[in-house]
Amino acid sequence: MLTISTPGRICLFGEHQDYLGLPVIAAAISRRVQIKGEHRDDNKIIIHLPDIGSELQMEVSDTRLPYLEKRDYFRSGYNVLIDRGFRFSKGMECRVNGNIPINSGTSSSSALLVTWIHFLSKMADNPHEFSAQELGELAFEAEIVEFNEPGGMMDHLSTAIGNAVYLEFDPKVTAEALNPDLGAFVLADSLEPKDTIGVLKRAKFARLDLIEKIRQELPDFSLHTFETTHKEQTKAFLSNDEYELLSGTLRNRDILREALALFESESMTDETLGKLLSEHHGILRDLLQISTPKIEKMMAAALKAGALGGKINGSGGGGCMFVYAPNKPEKVAAAIDAVGGRSYVIKIDKGTMSF
């Protein structure tokens, strides 16, 4: 019997920046998805999904499986391994369980795909021990590339690698483990459904168009190297809204740089971390407009109860937020629940693992 377990994640800094090629700092959390299974004597793959009262069946094949539904992740995970020469002569039966909030910005789908691909890679006729980063990259391919959807690689890499991690995507994907001494967080689900694809398209493509417009005037413009102090020169050809969007994007980039320096120093304080999280949230709320009145109500209640700062998590427009609450996190969680949220006290956790 093989068991694979993978965490969800929160994005500490760099939210809505990874698909622009900018770095992020993410952290795995102590809410996880697990697959437990073994081989069968026939060619059937049976996947029990008790959390959603469902079951999926397919058959092993040496060729790619056709997709039968939108975001057919179990088949896409299988297909990316078939493309790499993996073969399966035996069927499998497994059970999927998890306690990561679903469709709420904590990477439940990415964690599921990392878990599934990790599971398949060990159950194949020709098993292979992928690195955590390789598992994340394969899961990204299965979730994003296979279905031509918007989104970056942060979710897949952070759930696979675990703990706190600094991720760069340009000119190549790199991951640097961080070890800040962090206390408890409180993750809070607004219980509001979110339009992940719609929000991503609006936030992503509006800024890609903005970058292209700037490059028509400043051909060497890059979000990596453009100094914030030089942004005034763009006022001559940007509208007020475009200028504010550029300013917010640059400030979010700079907040991440400050946070990275903070984590790598020996002078980090809980209060400084909380302030940076809240400033990041303010830009996401006011410029990208991805928060909701309910999330703001939850945030206010958490801060009043003693949280030091926090931000919306994931694509936004609903879903989850989190706050940093190293002091009395249970009191903060109760305050969030009192205004209609569903809260979970969490800690930073390990990445995908097998046992």
CA 242, 244, 249: angle at the middle one, nearest 5?
A: 95
Whole-number pLDDT of residue 205: 84
Angle between helix axes 270-286 and 293-304 (nearest 10 degrees) is 160
Residue 68: count of CB within 10 angstroms of its CB: 9
Tell me whether residue 281 is exposed, middle or buried, using C-beta atoms within 10 angstroms of its C-beta: 0 to 12, 13 to 18, 19 or more.
Answer: buried
Domains of the chain: 2-179 (3.30.230.10), 185-346 (3.30.70.890)
Is the preceding omega at residue 150 within 30 degrees of 0, hence cis? no
Whole-number pLDDT of residue 190: 94
pLDDT digits (tens, 9 = 90+) for 99-140: 998 877 788 999 999 999 999 999 999 999 999 999 999 999
pLDDT digits (tens, 9 = 90+) for 51-76: 999 999 999 999 999 999 999 999 99
C-alpha to C-alpha distances, 337 to 87, 280, 311, nearest whole angstrom: 48, 23, 17
Whole-number pLDDT of residue 170: 83
How far apart (Å, rounded) are the C-alpha atoms in residues 28 and 345?
A: 13
Place of tokens 């903005």: 210
DSSP letters for 74-104: HHHHHHHHHTTT----S-EEEEEEE-SPTTS
Residue ranges in the chain modelled with pLDDT below 70 = 195-196
Q: Kindly state the greatest CA–CA separation across the chain.
A: 70
This prediction's pTM: 0.89
